[in-house]
Structure 1
Amino acid sequence: MQLVSDVILEDQPQVAPHFEARYPSLEGFALWDPQAWTNGHPHDFFRRMREEAPVMWQSADPKRAGYWSVSRYDDIKAVELAPEIYSSERGSINMFVMPRNEWKPKKLIPAAFNSIINLDQPQHMQMRIQQKDYFIPRFVAELGERVDAKIDSLLDEMERRGPVVDFVSLFSQELPLFTLCEMLGIDEADRPKIIRWMHYLELANQYFVNPWTLLSRRPWFPIKFYHYVNEMFAYGERVMADRRVNPRPDLMTAIANTRMAGKPLPQEYLDGSWLLIIFAGNDTSRNSLSGTIRLLTEFPDQRARVLADRSLIPAMTNEALRMISPVQHMRRTAMEDTELSGQRIARDEKVVLWYPAANRDPDVFADPDRFDVSRENVDKHIAFGHGPHKCLGNRIAQMQLQRALTKILERFPNIAWTGKQTISPNTLVHAISSLEVNLYGPNGQRPTQVAVSRHLGAKA
Structure 2
Amino acid sequence: MTADDTRRAAHDFDPVRPDETFTSAHEEFRDLRAQCPIARSQEYGGFWAALGYDEVLRVITDIENFTTSKQNAIPKFAFTGVRPPLHLDPPDHMAYRRVINAFFTPPKMRALEPKVRAASIELLDPLIDRGWADVCKEYAHKFPAHVFARFFNLSVDTAEEIKKVSGTYVDAIQVLDHEVVKKLSRRLYEIAGSIIEDRRTNAYDPDEDLTAALLAAEYQGGPLPADMVLGCVRQLIVTGMVAPSVFTGNMFVHLSRDADLQQRLRAEPTLVPAAVEEFLRLYSPYRGMARTAREDVVVSGQLIRKDDPIALVYTSANRDERVFPQGDEFVLDRPNIAQHISFGRGTHSCPGAPLARMMMTITLEEALARSASFTLAGSPEMAMWAEWGTRSVPLDFVRA
**Same structural fold, with TM-score higher than 0.5 when normalized by the shorter chain:** yes
Shift of 1:144: 0.4
* Kept after mapping to 2: 8 A contact 1:283/1:431: no
Answer with 1 or 2: which has the greater Rg: 1
Number of the residue aligned with 2:53: 73
Summarize the Cα distance change of 1:205–1:392 in structure 2 as closer, same or farther, 3 Å threshold: closer
Summarize the Cα distance change of 1:419–1:129 in structure 2 as closer, same or farther, 3 Å threshold: same
Amino acid paired to 1:194:
A
Summarize the Cα distance change of 1:207–1:96 in structure 2 as closer, same or farther, 3 Å threshold: closer
Aligned-residue CA RMSD in angstroms? 2.9
Number of the residue aligned with 1:180: 148
Shift of 1:386: 1.3
* Kept after mapping to 2: 8 A contact 1:237/1:267: no
Distance between the aligned counterparts of 1:373 and 1:383, measured in 2? 17
Distance between the aligned counterparts of 2:272 and 2:4, measured in 1? 47
Distance between the aligned counterparts of 1:244 and 1:38, measured in 2? 47
Shift of 1:230: 5.5
The C-alpha deviation readout for 1:71-116, integer Å capped at 9, x for no partner, is: 1101111111111211111x22122437xxxxxxxxx8324x4221
* Kept after mapping to 1: 8 A contact 2:296/2:304: yes
Number of the residue aligned with 2:137: 169
Shift of 1:251: 1.4
Number of the residue aligned with 1:241: 197
1:119 equivalent to 2:119? Answer no
Amino acid paired to 2:59:
V
The structure 2 residue matched to 1:30, chosen from 14, 23, 38, is 14
Summarize the Cα distance change of 1:280–1:438 in structure 2 as closer, same or farther, 3 Å threshold: same
The C-alpha deviation readout for 1:125-166, integer Å capped at 9, x for no partner, is: 221012222111110111001112222222222234x10111
- Aligned counterparts, 1:123-272, within 5 A: 123-160=92-129, 162-186=130-154, 188=155, 191-207=156-172, 209=174, 226=183, 232-244=188-200, 246-248=203-205, 249-272=208-231
Distance between the aligned counterparts of 2:87 and 2:21, measured in 1? 27
Distance between the aligned counterparts of 1:265 and 1:50, measured in 2? 43
The C-alpha deviation readout for 1:18-41, integer Å capped at 9, x for no partner, is: 9456799454x312x374657666
Distance between the aligned counterparts of 1:334 and 1:376, measured in 2? 34
The structure 2 residue matched to 1:303, chosen from 253, 258, 262, is 262
Q: Secondary structure at the match of 1:134?
A: coil
Number of the residue aligned with 1:456: none
Unaligned runs of 5+ in 1: 1-15, 99-107, 213-221, 441-445, 448-460
The C-alpha deviation readout for 1:377-408, integer Å capped at 9, x for no partner, is: 22321111111211100000111111221111
The structure 2 residue matched to 1:109, chosen from 54, 57, 79, is 79
Number of the residue aligned with 2:392: 434
* Kept after mapping to 2: 8 A contact 1:17/1:57: no
Unaligned runs of 5+ in 2: none
Distance between the aligned counterparts of 1:208 and 1:46, measured in 2? 23
The C-alpha deviation readout for 1:274-301, integer Å capped at 9, x for no partner, is: 2322322121222222111111112233
Summarize the Cα distance change of 1:419–1:271 in structure 2 as closer, same or farther, 3 Å threshold: farther
Distance between the aligned counterparts of 1:37 and 1:251, measured in 2? 38
Distance between the aligned counterparts of 1:152 and 1:392, measured in 2? 25
- Aligned counterparts, 1:303-322, within 5 A: 303-322=262-281
Distance between the aligned counterparts of 1:256 and 1:25, measured in 2? 48
Distance between the aligned counterparts of 1:287 and 1:204, measured in 2? 15
TM-score by length of structure 2 reads 0.88
1:52 equivalent to 2:35? Answer yes
Distance between the aligned counterparts of 1:309 and 1:22, measured in 2? 50
Q: Secondary structure at the match of 1:439?
A: strand
TM-score by length of structure 1 reads 0.78
Distance between the aligned counterparts of 2:96 and 2:389, measured in 1? 28
- Identify the range of structure 1 (254-263 vs 165-174) with the bigger mean alpha-carbon deviation: 254-263
Number of the residue aligned with 1:323: 282
Summarize the Cα distance change of 1:309–1:38 in structure 2 as closer, same or farther, 3 Å threshold: closer
* Kept after mapping to 2: 8 A contact 1:176/1:286: yes
Q: Secondary structure at the match of 2:312?
A: strand
Question: Number of aligned pairs?
Answer: 395
The C-alpha deviation readout for 1:409-454, integer Å capped at 9, x for no partner, is: 11114122223332233x22125222111111xxxxx68xxxxxxx
Distance between the aligned counterparts of 2:48 and 2:354, measured in 1? 31
1:97 equivalent to 2:67? Answer no
Shift of 1:337: 1.9
Number of the residue aligned with 1:342: 301
Summarize the Cα distance change of 1:208–1:151 in structure 2 as closer, same or farther, 3 Å threshold: closer
* Kept after mapping to 2: 8 A contact 1:76/1:353: yes
